[in-house]
Amino acid sequence: MMNLSTTIAGVTFPSCFMNAAGALCVTQDELESLGRSGAGAIVTKSMTIEARQGNPEPRYYGFLGGSINSMGLPNLGYKAYAELIPHLKRFGKPVIASVAGLVEDDFPTIAEFINAAGPDLIEVNLSCPNIPGKPQIGYDPEASERLLKRVRPKVTVPMGVKLPPYFDPAHHQVMGAVLGRCGVDFLSLINSVGNGLVVDPERETVVIKPKGGFGGLGGRIIKPVALANVRAFYKFFEGKMPIIGTGGIVEGIDAFEHVLCGASAVQIGTVLVEEGLDVFGRLEAELSAVLMRKGYQSIQECRGRLNEL
């Protein structure tokens, strides 16, 4: 097997594949299973101050082109994850703590407490689309900047930001400038494409219960949006900002496309939920085969090397 290790913000990952925050990473059992799996890291569920049950079920639905979910941030609460982090580090791979909040003041509180528990990296989630009545902070550049400038001093490990998908070059420019001013060490791109709607025409119903059936889209259907965001931020930062690409990775070739666009690593959500932990081995083998066929020795050799016409 080819060496698929990668480095993000000075932290070495044994594999470039990891779970996306939200996918099979809520409970201690799930996190330990990721530790024993072929994943290159353990990414925690996005955590809030209080433990949350999340939205009513059904709240996840897989379909031919991907998935729709409105989970509503079910998680154990930040203090439970802080207790788990030292234990999870024994698996010998980086631990990425995903920090969320329901209001702005939650973020610095959680970040400071979690930082003290010693994760390898912290990912600040500015892009959960599935809390009823709560807009995505990542679509408000001023609020994002204010929040990140409050969180940054509390965090001594590399701090990244998980962003929602942007659909206009002007938004990439504005957010790129914000991130540049806030001392961000890496980016996770993208969170699910918010507020999609999947219909069951036979039953004449929506397929998930929360928010009238509206939810975040993931899987194959969102890959072009994810690739566009990876590419736009790779170019904005002239290749100097490490990027973790997320969205539409179903086969090894999809991961290769993310790397070509500028990703240093990739996260998987829908395919992990649908296929289980064995998916890491399959994706590694498929990506290795693509790299070998093309004569690359590592993902570093082809990162960002997408040609334009």
Cα–Cα nearest to 74, from 48, 37, 93, 96: 48
DSSP state of 301: T
Quick count: other Cβ atoms within 10 Å of Cβ 180?
12
User: Structure tokens of 178?
Assistant: 């914000």
C-alpha dihedral (129, 134, 139, 140), degrees to nearest 10: -160
Contact in structure between 143 and 104 (CB atoms under 8 Å):
yes
The yes-or-no answer on residue 261 being catalytic is no
Reading the block at residue 98, the tokens are 């995903």
Name the strand (E) or helix (H) holding 109: helix 106-117
Q: Is the peptide bond before 119 cis (omega within 30 degrees of 0)?
A: no
The residue annotated as part of the active site, out of 128, 182, 261, 302, is: 128
| Cα–Cα distance for residue pair 196/254, rounded to 1 Å | 22
Q: Catalytic residue numbers? A: 128
